Amino acid sequence: MALTIYGDHRLGNCLKVKWTAERLGIDYDWVETPGGAGATRTRQFLRMNPAAQIPTVVLEDGRSLAQSNAICLHLAEGSELIPRDPYWRAKMLEWLFWEQYSHEPYVAGRRYFKLYEGKTDVELDPEIMVRGEQALARMQAWLGATPYLVPDQLTLADIALVAYTRVAHEGGFDLGKYPAVKSWVGRIEAELGLEPAQSG
């Protein structure tokens, strides 16, 4: 029995897990499970993840695991996607927690409200845009000095943060204002073998 990923291919939190598995050469089955609908509230799904969130995976031994960054950390344990140096491993974790707390709710959130809930700009809390811009500005300041989020090495931090940053324009953010972020997105997409999500 291979790894089974329950996820929505439109959502970066799910794609992170897919890309991590592919980078590590881990076989998986993908079960398309739309976010925001009833698919995560069935009795079968809630047995796997009572939090009713995607992605959720079922491991080879039949046990389940949730939270995109926890799944990626588990799959990548001992691999080159996690720094061996304790300090840089901790900095990678800092980026992963920051991503879920200070980046995803705004950069991914605004995209979700626009694309999947059909909200127009005037219906959206302006604070979401402010916080998203702050997140991108922080990345810009850091990525001006280093090619990866953890210097010298592609890690889970790049995989996690590229997932929604590369489609930030779909949430109304202009990566043209953040040139170091834009270059980094192109670099990580190339390393992961992804088609560029941004035009121009």
- Residue that is written with structure tokens 């922080």 in the block: 138
Output the six-digit token pair for 70: 């926890």
Kindly state the smallest distance separating residue 189's Cβ from a second copy, in Å: 24
Closer to a second copy by Cβ: residue 64 or 198? 64
CB 19 → a second copy: shortest distance, Å?
18
**How many helical (H) and strand (E) elements, i.e. helices and strands, does the chain have?**
8, 4
Q: Toward a second copy, which CB reaches closer, 1 or 200?
A: 1
- Considering beta carbons, is residue 141 or 190 the nearer one to a second copy? 141
The burial of 90, by beta-carbon neighbours within 10 Å (0-12 exposed, 13-18 middle, 19 or more buried), is given as exposed
Where on the chain is the footprint of a second copy (CB under 8 A)? 50-51, 53, 59, 61, 63, 65-71, 73-74, 77, 86-87, 89-91, 93-94, 96-98, 100-102, 104-105, 138, 141-142
Q: How far is the CB of 50 from a second copy (least distance, A)?
A: 6
Nearer of residues 10 and 89 to a second copy, judged by Cβ: 89
**Helix locations, the chain, DSSP H:** 12-23, 43-48, 68-76, 86-98, 109-115, 126-143, 156-165, 179-192
- The least CB distance from residue 200 to a second copy, in Å, is 28
Using CA atoms, how far residue 81 sits from 38, 110, 113, 150, 157, in Å, is 34, 29, 31, 10, 9
Instruction: Choose between 55 and 171: whose C-beta lies nearer to a second copy.
Output: 55
| Cis status, amide bond into 55, omega within 30 of 0 | yes
Smallest gap from Cβ 71 to a second copy, in A, equals 8
Q: Say which residues have a Cβ less than 8 Å from residue 44's Cβ, sequence separation at least 6.
A: none
